[in-house]
Amino acid sequence: MSVYEEYRKKLTTPEKAVSIVKSGDWVDYGSFTGQPVALDKALAQRKEELLDVKIRSVTAVKMHEVVKVDPEAKHFVYNNWHFSGLDRKLHDQGLCWHIPILYNELPSYYRRFLEVDVAMIPVTPMDEKGFFNFGPQVSHTRAICEKAKKIILEVNPKIPRCLGGREETIHISEVDYVVETEWDLPEVPPAPPSETDLKIANYILPELVDGSCIQLGIGGMPNALGGIIAQSDLKDLGVHTEMMTESFVDMVESGVVTGARKTLDRYKLTYTFCLGSKKAYDFLDNNPRCAAYPVDYCNNPGNIAKNDNAIAINNCVEVDLFGQVCSESSGTRNISGTGGQVDFNLGAYHSKGGKAFICLESTYKNREGKVFSRIKPILTPGAIVTTHRAMVNYIVTEYGMVNLKGKSTWERAEALISIAHPDFRDELVKEAEKLGIWRRSNKIAP
C-alpha cells in the first residue's frame, strides 16, 4: 500500500475521529501554535457524552472550545504546562490547572510516567515519503506521540514546514486518523520595548562579544535587546534558544548572526518552538538555516554549554535580597511557569565565557497605582522560587547590573540594593539589618 493509499484510508472527519475519546481519558493537545482547532471543536460537541476527560496543552493563545462549553469543568479538565495570559485568567476562574516542569525534562515525563490515551496534533500536509512535519513546535511533540495509544493528525496547509534537527516529523504509518482543515497560526506580535527595557538592554549589550551564542526569553526587554543587537557591530553571533522570535530574524537579516563560531550545530539557528508573528513563521518555513530540535536536546544544559560565550537573557517577577528569583507567580497566583529559565541559566554559566542574565524592572504598580519594589527583603509569601539563589549569575534592572556568583549574603544584599529603585533603598537596608544580612561597612551609592 502506498503512503497516499494509507492516507486516504485514514482520512476521516473531525467528528468521527474524536469518537474514540472516552470518559476519563487523557488527551494531549500539543503546544503553542500547534494545538487543534477542528478536533477541539468536534470534541466539545460531545460534552454531554463525556465526563472527566483530561486535556493537556502548553500556552494557549486562543480559548479551547472544550473549556468554553464546560464552565463547571465537569466534562473536560484543562491542564497546562506553561500559562499564557489566557491560561492565567482561566486558572483564576478554576478552569485551568498548572503542571510544574523543568522544560528540558518534559519529554522524559511522557516516556517514563504519563499516560496519553489520545494525541491530537496539528501538522503540515504529508510529503511524498509519507511524513508530516510538526511545524514550529517540536518541543515534546514526538514524546507525546510515542506514548499515545491513538494519534489523530489535524492537517493544516498554513503550518510552516520547520526543518530539523530531529523529531520534527511523524510518518503516516504511525497514526490512526487524519483530518483536514485550514486556519491561520495564532500570532503573538513582539511587545514594543519600553524606555526601561532599553536601559536594561544597554547594560547587557557590552557583555556580548563576537561569536556569542544567544538565547532570548519572551517579553519587551529581550525583544529590545534583540533589536539593539541587530543594529550593532557584533559579528558571527550564534543562536541556541528555546523560543525563536522575530528578533532573531532581524539579526539574521542584518548580518550579525551567522553561526560560524558555534561548536554545536554550526551555522544553524537552534530552537525548539516559535510563538510569534507571521514574519517569524515565514522565516522558518523550509529554511535550512534553522534547526528545530526536541526540548530535551535544545534545553539540555550540557548542550547549551557546548557553545562558547553562551548568553542567556530572561525576565523575572521579583528577586529577594538572598538572590532567590521568582519568575512564574505573583504570590500564590500562578502566572506562567518555570519554562527554560533554569535550563539556560545553568547551561550558559557553564559555557566557556558564558553569562546568564535575569532582568526585571525595579518597580511595579498595583491596581490602585501604588508603587512597590520588585527587589524585596524576602519573596512575597507563597511566591515560587524559579531560579535557586546559588544558580543566579547576573541580575539587571534599569539602575545597573550585579553578579551574584561567589557573593556572601551581605554582599548579595549590598549588590541588589544598589540596583533597586532609589526610593526603596533605605527601606531595604533596614530590612536587611533585621534579616541579619547587612554589615555596618556596607555602602550603597546614592
The C-alpha cell that represents 58 in the structure block: 502548553
Backbone angles phi, psi at 47, to 5 degrees: -45, -50
Q: Which helix (H) or strand (E) holds 13?
A: none
H helices present in 301-362, as ranges = 301-306, 341-349
User: Coil, helix or strand for 305?
Assistant: helix
Q: Is 242 a catalytic residue?
A: yes
- As to burial, measured by CB atoms within 10 angstroms (0-12 exposed, 13-18 middle, 19+ buried), residue 285 is middle
In the DSSP assignment, the letter for residue 193 is: P
Amino acid of residue 264: L
Closest by CA to 391, choosing from 338, 434, 439, is 338
CA–CA separation, 279 and 265 (whole Å) = 23
Q: Which helix (H) or strand (E) holds 441?
A: none
Strand 325-326 with 394-397, pairing? unpaired
User: Coil, helix or strand for 239?
Assistant: strand
In the DSSP assignment, the letter for residue 113 is: T
In the DSSP assignment, the letter for residue 164 is: B
Q: Which residues pair with 376 in a beta bridge?
A: 320
Q: Which residues pair with 154 in a beta bridge?
A: 122, 179
Catalogue the long-range contacts made by 433-441 (C-beta closer than 8 Å, 24 or more residues apart). Answer: 434/377, 435/321, 435/377, 435/378, 437/321, 437/322, 437/409, 437/410, 437/412, 437/413, 438/410, 438/413, 438/414, 439/410
User: Coil, helix or strand for 1?
Assistant: coil
Closest by CA to 152, choosing from 294, 30, 23, is 30
Sign of CA dihedral 420, 421, 426, 428: negative
Output the CA–CA distances (angstroms, integers) from residue 8 to 4, 114, 130, 141, 411, in the order listed: 6, 31, 12, 24, 67
User: Coil, helix or strand for 432?
Assistant: helix
User: Coil, helix or strand for 341?
Assistant: helix
Count the alpha carbons within 13 Å of 160 in the hemisphere toward its beta carbon.
27
The one catalytic residue among 65, 154, 242, 318: 242
| Residues recognised as catalytic | 242
